[in-house]
Amino acid sequence: MIRSMTAFGTAQGTVGNWRVSWDLRAVNHRYLDVGLRLPDPLRGLELAVRNRIGESFKRGRVDCTLTWRPSAPEAGPTCIDTALVRGLLGALRNVEALEDRSWTGLSAIELLRWPGVMQESEPDLATLEPGLLAVLDRALAEARAFREREGAQIAALLDLRCADIQRAVGAVRERLPAILAGIRNKLRARLAELAAEPDAARLEQELVYLAQKMDVAEELDRLTAHTTEMRHILTQREPAGRRLDFLIQEMNREANTLASKSADLETTRAAVDIKVLIEQMREQVQNVE
């Protein structure tokens, strides 16, 4: 079954002392284009994340965001700059020595609030990576399921349009003998207006020429073949967006030729209807992976 390029997936989990959340959003794009937003301490995950996304998606613009926060207030990865604390205490003693007096001094809370005393420690990326990627895999699975559900809807619409085109082609094909007879009658009527006695051989030559010029059987055969192939592709699992786009172009070319060769109003109307159906299909195919 074909897949849409539109997708959304999200997953949350606890990794170490962190509560993490992955968000994935995907839209249609000619190629695979991945945009990542990772916390600075986790930039080292970028290659692994890109590889994971590349395994799941072949086309589309995918925006991936990772957010994290301590799982509990006391669980934050903080440390105390003891060298700075010693420096502050030493500076206080120096001031006391200069004044030859004792100051009340700084409380422990005031020391901890001093800029730079409390610092975030660097996370151990090697330890966190397996858990972070496991949560990402769940978000990717949700996004893939989204794509498959929407892809099934697109496939149903495309299959319906293919059936409509095949019915229109069948109706034109059934009228081909009547169209040829109409051409013959018009030619005879024209000769009668000119008061000319038609030469049987010459008349037959003109009819053959006109029949060849206005013969749309080949275009009808190709439209049938293209729609049959498209319906087959819709049942396949591999990415099919580019193949479907190619078939749409070929079908549009055949519909244009059918319209230009049209010898009667009904065929012209059928060609216009087919072109409208193809355009509706083109809009859907633009969002197929």
The predicted structure's pLDDT at residue 217: 85
Question: Residues 153-157: contacts with CB within 8 Å, 24+ apart?
Answer: 153/4, 154/2, 154/4, 154/284, 154/287, 154/288, 155/1, 155/2, 155/234, 157/284
Burial pattern 144-183, b for ≥16 Cβ within 10 A else e, equals bebbbebbeebbeebeebbebbbebbeebeeebeebbeeb
Task: Say if residues 281 and 231 touch (Cβ distance below 8 Å).
Answer: no
Using one digit for the tens of pLDDT, what is the confidence trace for 215-257?
A: 788 899 999 999 999 999 999 888 899 999 999 999 999 999 9
For residue 187, pLDDT beyond 90: no
Instruction: Give the sign of the dihedral formed by CA 230, CA 233, CA 234, CA 239.
Output: negative
Region of 100 on the Ramachandran plot (φ > 0 left; ψ -120 to 50 alpha; else beta):
left
Contacts of 205 (CB under 8 A, 6+ apart): none
Q: Which residue has the tokens 């009808």?
A: 220
Q: Is 3 exposed, middle or buried (0-12, 13-18, 19+ CB in 10 A)?
A: buried
The predicted structure's pLDDT at residue 243: 95
Instruction: Give the sign of the dihedral formed by CA 51, CA 55, CA 56, CA 62.
Output: positive
| pLDDT greater at residue 94 or residue 19 | 19
All CATH 3.30.230 domain ranges in the chain, comma separated: 7-74+126-146
**Alpha carbons 107 and 99: distance in angstroms, whole number:** 20
The predicted structure's pLDDT at residue 200: 65
Task: Say if residues 20 and 68 touch (Cβ distance below 8 Å).
Answer: yes
Q: Tell me the mean pLDDT in the region 31-51.
A: 94
Using one digit for the tens of pLDDT, what is the confidence trace for 55-83?
A: 999 999 999 999 998 876 555 556 777 78
pLDDT class of 85 with cuts at 50, 70, 90: confident
| Structure token pair of residue 39 | 């916390």
**Alpha carbons 255 and 250: distance in angstroms, whole number:** 9
The predicted structure's pLDDT at residue 165: 97
pLDDT-wise least confident of 15-24, 147-156, 185-194: 185-194
Task: Say if residues 21 and 136 touch (Cβ distance below 8 Å).
Answer: no
The predicted structure's pLDDT at residue 170: 95
Instruction: Tell me the residue type at 127.
Output: T
pLDDT class of 162 with cuts at 50, 70, 90: very high
For residue 106, pLDDT beyond 70: no
CATH number, domain 7-74+126-146, options 2.60.120, 3.40.50, 3.30.230, 3.40.1350: 3.30.230
Q: Tell me the mean pLDDT in the region 116-132.
A: 80
The predicted structure's pLDDT at residue 156: 96
Mean pLDDT of the chain, nearest integer: 86
In 3D space, the residue among 162, 153, 133, 134 whose CA is nearest the CA of residue 6 turns out to be 153
